[in-house]
Structure 1
Amino acid sequence: MTTFPAAYLSYLVEFHATRDFFECHELLEEYWKEHPEDPIADTWVGLIQLAVGLYHERRGNKRGALKMMVQAERRLSLSPLEQLGIDKDHLENQLLPRIAALQSETDAEYRDLDLRLTSDELLEQCLQACKDRDLIWGAPSSAFGAATIHRHTLRDRSDVIAARQEAYEAKKRERNG
């Protein structure tokens, strides 16, 4: 039995069942930062960038989407995605035309991207997690509202703002001390 990190399983569930790409980014970024010596750290970063790219694309931020998708493609094309149960060729065949479309000046309607899983065991774990949470694997983005699509603009950032203010005040006291 292959053991995958819980954060990765959660990423896949969010990616395919809630389409909450902001949450995908948060989950894997936390894992990646907690495991800096992980031999596939670059793969985690590529998957984070993929989620961020999709988040931007769905919100209509073509420039941000393009930047993240190009970086994700570069990393993921060199990554051992097979070890993570992802069909690398299928992903590449979705990413390259998407990048080309983002580079063009035409406005294309957003469409979901799915990671084809090659591991039956991994897919079964993801489907069970969906069942446990009453989610539907492969649900379309159109099933979710603005709260998911524009999540970063709607979240409470008061703790981040307070921490930044405190750091600023501490630095100011240090300089004047």
Structure 2
Amino acid sequence: MHLPEDYLSFLVHFHGTRDYFECHEILEEYWKETAPKERDSHWVGLIQIAVALYHDRRGNNAGASRTLAKAISNLRLKKAELQQLGLDSEALIDLLQQTHERMLLKRPYKSINLPIKDPDLLAQCQSLCNEEGYTWCMESDCTNLELVNRHSTRDRSEVILERNRQLSQRKLKIEDGS
């Protein structure tokens, strides 16, 4: 089974560093390059899991539960795609529902492990994780504020430039009457 490198990187960070912000960034880039118009893509569902857990760990219960509900709704319809990615789709949906229930009950954050069904994929991810010096399936370090607050430490200059460019284009269209 040949899977995208970005997906493998997502899995390594998800289970090895628990850097959900990085997971989101990795898969969002991949999704934008491959299927940006597919808002209900399985890639979006996986991104939503990472975003939900990022919010959950930071104590943003409302954002976490809302985002995870979207992921569950999306991924329920993408079981074949999840299977092709080496995941146990039924176990994943069950895990996400349990996690969502924990969020709704306002219980504290708890790391989860995506149910990787394909033994070769699991071995490959564990090996990659080891090569990077990470511990596979380690618990998240909630005391690591750099990890917990990753969004506030990143360089957003490119994002801001792109937003300003798009805003300028919209203003020009309005001025031109188009």
TM range (shorter): 0.7 to 0.9
CA deviations 1:121-175 (Å, max 9, x no partner) are 1011111211221111111102771111111112122333344445555666784
Letter in 2 for 1:128: S
Change (3 A) 1:167 1:50: closer
Distance 1:154 1:58, change over 3 A: same
CA distance in 2, matches of 1:152, 1:169: 26
TM-score, with normalisation over the residues of structure 2? 0.85
- Structure 1: gaps (5+ residues): none
Residue by residue, what CA displacement relative to the aligned partner does 1:83-104 show, whole Å, maximum 9, x if unpaired? 1111122222221122223233
Q: Displaced runs of 4+ in structure 1, greater than 3 A? A: 162-176
Which residue identity does 1:43 align to in structure 2? H
Q: In 1, distance between residues paired with 2:92 and 2:166?
A: 42
C-alpha contact 2:57 2:142 (8 A) present in aligned 1: no
**For residues 31-60 of structure 1, what are the alpha-carbon distances to aligned partners after superposition, in whole Å with 9 as ceiling and x for unaligned?**
111112899x71111101111111111111
The alpha-carbon distance between structure 1 residues 144 and 10, as it changes in their structure 2 partners (threshold 3 A), is: farther
Aligned to 1:96: 97
Identity of aligned residues (%): 40
How well do the aligned residues superpose, as a CA RMSD in angstroms?
2.5
Count matched residues: 172
Gaps of 5+ in 2: none
